[in-house]
Amino acid sequence: MRIRAQVAMVMNLDKCIGCHTCSVTCKQTWTNREGTEYVWFNNVETKPGIGYPKHYEDQERWKGGWKLDGKGRLVLRSGGRAKRLSRIFANPDLPSIDDYYEPATFDKDILVSAPGGLTDTPVKRPYSALTGEPMAVTWGANWEDSLGGAHERADGDPNLARMSGEAAAKVQFEFEKTFMFHLPRICEHCLNSACVAACPSGAMYKREEDGIVLVDQDRCRGWRMCVSACPYKKVYVNHATGKAEKCTLCFPRIEAGQPTICSETCVGRLRYLGIVLYDEDAVLAAASIEDERDLLDAQRAVFLDPDDPGVERAAREAGMPDEWIDAAKLSPIRKLITEYRIALPLHPEYRTLPMVWYVPPLSPVLDAVCAAGRDDTDADDVFHTIRELRIPVEYLAELFTAGDAEAAGGVLMKLAAMRSYMRARTLDGTVAQDLLDSIGMTGDQVEAMYRLLAIAKYDERYIIPAAHAKDAAAIEAQAAAHGDCPVGGADEQFHPAVGSGLFRRTDGRRGLTLNPLRSRS
Amino acid sequence: MNTLLWVALPYACLAVFTAGHIWRWRHDQFGWTTHTSQLLESRLLRLGSPLFHLGAFGVIGGHALGLLVPATLTERIGVSEHVYHLVSVSAGTVTGVVMIAGLVLLIARRFVNGRVRRVTTTMDKVLYAFLAAMVVLGMTATVGRNMLGGGYDYRETIAVWFRGIFWFRPHTELMAGAPLVYQLHAIGGFLFLALWPFTRLVHVWSAPLAYLWRPYVVYRARRSPAPAPRPAPAVVRDAGRQKVSSDR
């Protein structure tokens, strides 16, 4: 057994209102630079929908993630090592910038510099950030927001294509007949990362201490194999530097014991951050389970229980600091995944063992309950809908349980039962023992789960141990060496792209710049 | 003049080649990249890039064979001059044509596609011009001289001079008598080596062969070797990028 700690995240999708605050604060922090205009380390997409980049979940096309070969061995879907190296001159699976979207900027200058006496109002026009030419904006990272255009496009959602024909045909995109929810996505910081496995130069790595997956900017040689290998399409090419970049899980903040910027600024308070312990030696076997529907349980089994004295001893022997073991015991992630078993991984069938899990949304089911003329506050009606009216459940199953509607439905029933139990408890003061029995949980557990999900106190959502005290001196020394960089390794620093702004005014001064860090003249 | 061209220039270029690589490796790891633009344009690249690279491998192999392997050695293993000539001309022509086809596609892509044009640095343009000139000269020598013309046995002259450079006994008189197209190709070749460390060609030395046997998932400690202060961003990259910006 090789015990390791991982900083993992859970998002409670019922609480996501699709405000994109996480995306915006992330972009302002990490990708507001030349070359990363199209890059969203955090994006929020509406489901059903084709996503960002377009159809990224269609692995027949993009060959992301892992698969089992004829002999049951785990191989990257894009092929073995030699085959992948033979394609290094032109990667056939690489998305083009148009699969993301062509980034635009606007000549806002015109609004203040237009000559007086015009009969028309000056209008700022979009310009391509790639060519500098005027362009029409026809796509973006959240173009399908709240099912916009879904009646034309959303049936291209790869998850619908995988559902049974009968069920998929019933998913409708007419107003008042459909369902939707928002899906915020960051890098999954997988235990079995396909991007790391695909990097020819070994520049991508998983940190031993906290499992954060990073690109060493000095060792990346721009082979761009990581971009296509990631099934979630969360590694990007910076087209100004020619290097790969990705979500860093805000490691400078994590090292200081703070939540990531997307979590910190989430207005819905739906994100949870904490430590999980896992056995590195068990990862390969778990990812190699034959039946896709057994992958969820296999992934749960990789986690170790920090309350087990044997595990605790092993962790100490491996040199894990006490704060980390304590944090693992208190971890909200462990509660949601292992104890309440209501958090599910996104697309476990990619076999990467993702470390950002989701509490699936009950709201599509409640919508269906109402549409069927039932009472969405009555647990029996909700249970009945989950069992009988399988449309949203089957869709959620494609996302979170490799199509296993039983497993997805079980989680939704727990959420529905918690809702009804707490309603009875609060309004009537009664304890609905039958509900507890139906989901196999105790009253205390349900109330604790309710507190974690609904009250969601800051201190309970984020249990992040600061980098160990003995490391603090090293961080200090680093900060002293760099001056301008208070925390974090020099290896992972992003070097700002050098160059001028997009538009040069005729007087030679720079007009618009996409990068606020550049000097403004 | 002979000494300048056939002794001083090669040594100067080799010195720049070596020192340039050491300097760039030490000071510009961040700029050491293929600088891929496949994200911006894929259709032409998917045809042009493999053609160019495969052709280039053949061309490099052919040069190694012609320049480094003495004629006496091939004779001894039973390859007559006539057979060698046939093989070198035919294989050289095929690989040369493949490389030219790839190069034409890659250069065209830089002109035709506005997105790629905009990320093309001055150094890229110099590199492409140099490559094109070298390929044209080389093909003129191979096709024009050895296939259609009377033929020229460079293995008795140029190859001997080339190997002499590394034994510090360059025979300048051998080069002075060589045909003009070979002389130009040789001069260009050394200048090309001098240019090499300052272009994106450095990615050749990072060919990721170790990928074939390393473990799939790489773990690394947060603070591996003690952090060294980073040098200022590389002059090479900055100079290149600044020029492009001012072209706009």
Beta-carbon contacts of B17 under 8 Å, excluding residues fewer than 6 positions away, are B193, B194, B196, B197
Instruction: Write out the two tokens for B90.
Output: 């035919």
**Interface contact flag, A499 B216, Cβ < 8 Å:** no
Q: From the CB of residue A158, how many other CB atoms can be counted at a distance below 10 Å?
A: 17
Looking at the complex, does the CB of residue B26 fall below 8 Å from at least one CB of chain A?
A: no
Q: B84 in a domain, yes or no?
A: yes
Given CB atoms, is A521 within the 8 Å cutoff of chain B?
Answer: no
A230 Cβ contact partners less than 8 Å away, ≥ 6 residues apart: A64, A65, A194, A195
* Distance in angstroms (rounded) separating the CA atoms of residues A498 and A495: 9
Cβ(A477)–Cβ(A344) below 8 Å: no
Q: What is the pLDDT of residues B108-130, one digit of tens each?
A: 999 999 999 999 999 999 999 99
Q: So what's the pLDDT on residue A370?
A: 83
The pLDDT tens digits for B46-56 are 999 999 999 99
**Amino acid occupying residue A209:** E
Chain A contact set for B101 (CB, 8 A): none
pLDDT at A472: 58
Percent over 70 (pLDDT), chain A: 89
Kindly list the residues from chain B whose CB atom is less than 8 angstroms away from the CB atom of residue A97: 39-40, 115
Spatial CA neighbour of A223 closest among A198, A206, A192, A197? A198
pLDDT score, position B230: 45
Least confident of A151-160, A275-284, B58-67, B134-143: A151-160
CB contact under 8 A, A206 and B220: yes
- Cβ-Cβ contacts under 8 Å for A229 (sequence gap 6 or more): A63, A64, A65, A76, A78, A194, A195, A197, A198
Q: Kindly report, residue by residue over B231-247, the tens digit of the pLDDT.
A: 444 544 444 444 444 33
Tokens 């002293």 appear where? A480
CA dihedral of residues B191, B196, B201, B204 (deg, nearest 10):
110
Judge whether B218 lies within some domain: no
Nearest of A8, A5, A86 to residue A323 by alpha carbon: A5
Per-residue pLDDT tens over the stretch A50-75: 999 999 999 999 999 999 999 999 99
Q: According to the model, what pLDDT value does residue A178 have?
A: 79
Pairwise CA distance, residues A139 & A157, whole Å = 16
Q: Which residue of B has its CA nearest to A86?
A: B50
CA distance, residue B210 to nearest chain A CA (Å): 8
Closest CA to A126 of A143, A113, A142, A110: A110
Kindly state whether A389 is in contact with chain B, defined as any CB-CB distance less than 8 angstroms.
no
**pLDDT for res A333:** 97
Pick from B39, B216, B217: CB nearest A96: B39
* pLDDT above 80 for A267: yes
C-alpha dihedral, B61 to B63 to B66 to B68, nearest 10°: -90
Mutation target vs B (from A135, A205, A221; most B CBs, 10 A cutoff): A221
Mean pLDDT for A172-188 is: 85
B245 touches chain A (CB under 8 A): yes
Q: Is there a domain that residue B222 lies in?
A: no
Question: Looking at the domain assignment, is residue B135 inside a domain?
Answer: yes
Instruction: Give me the residue from B45, B223, B238 closest to A90, CB to CB.
Output: B45
User: What is the reported pTM?
Assistant: 0.87
Residue A498: its chain B contacts at CB < 8 A?
233, 237-238, 241-242
* pLDDT of the residue at A512: 39
Chain A residue with the nearest C-alpha to that of B221: A208
Report the pLDDT averaged over residues A271-287: 96
pLDDT tens-digit map of A487-521? 444 444 444 444 433 334 344 444 333 333 433 33
Mean pLDDT of A392-407: 93
**Encoded tokens for A293:** 């529907």
Whether B217 is in a domain gets the answer no
Residue tagged 């000269």 (tokens) = B137
Q: Which of residues 160-219 of B touch A (CB under 8 A)?
A: 203, 206, 208-212, 214, 216-219
Choosing among A130, A204, A324, which should be mutated to test the B contact, i.e. which has the most B CBs within 10 A? A130
- The chain-wide mean pLDDT, for chain A, equals 88
Residue A176: the pLDDT is 67
| d(C-alpha B222, C-alpha A119), whole Å | 61
**Number of domains composing chain B:** 1
Tens digits of per-residue pLDDT, B201-229? Answer: 999 999 999 999 999 999 998 764 434 44
Q: Give the model's confidence band at A468: pLDDT under 50 very low, under 70 low, under 90 confident, else very high.
A: low
Of A197, A224, A481, the CB nearest to B36: A224
Q: Cβ-count burial of A288 within 10 angstroms (0-12 exposed, 13-18 middle, 19+ buried)?
A: middle
CA–CA separation, A53 vs A273, rounded Å? 26
Residue B202 CA to residue B28 CA, distance in Å, equals 11
Residue B68 lies in a domain: yes
User: Is B77 domain-assigned?
Assistant: yes
Mean pLDDT computed over every residue of chain B? 87
Those residues whose C-beta lies under 8 Å from the C-beta of residue A93, and which sit 6 or more positions away, are A61, A62, A63, A64, A78, A228
Using the Cβ of A220 and the Cβ atoms of chain B, whether some distance falls under 8 Å is answered with: yes
* Residue B185 placed within a domain: yes
**B37 to each of A35, A101, A166, how far by Cα in Å?**
11, 16, 43
Please give the structure tokens belonging to residue A504: 């040069």
pLDDT at res. A229? 97
By the 8 A CB rule, do A273 and A357 touch?
no
Indicate whether A137 pLDDT > 70.
Answer: yes
Of the pLDDT bands very low, low, confident and very high (cuts 50, 70, 90), residue A185 is very high
pLDDT above 90 for B152? no
pLDDT digits (tens, 9 = 90+) for B19-52: 999 999 999 999 999 999 999 999 999 999 999 9
Kindly report, residue by residue over A283-333, the tens digit of the pLDDT. 999 999 999 999 999 999 999 999 999 999 999 999 999 999 999 999 999
Contact B219 A205 (CB under 8 A): yes
Range of the structural domain that residue B57 is part of:
2-207+230-243
> Residue B118 maps to which CATH number?
1.20.950.20
Q: Are A415 and A439 in contact (CB under 8 A)?
A: no
How far apart (Å, rounded) are the C-alpha atoms in residues A464 and A321?
13
Partners of A280 on chain B (C-beta within 8 Å) are 219
Query: Touching check for A297 and chain B: CB below 8 Å?
Result: no
Which residue would you say has higher pLDDT here, B248 or A380?
A380
Burial A350-386 (b: 16+ CB within 10 A, else e): bbbbbbbbbbbbbbbbbbbbeeeebebeebebbbebb
CA–CA distance, A81 with A93 (Å, rounded to integer): 15
Helices vs strands, H then E, count in chain B: 11, 1
Say what the alpha-carbon torsion angle B192, B198, B203, B206 is, to the nearest 10 degrees: 100
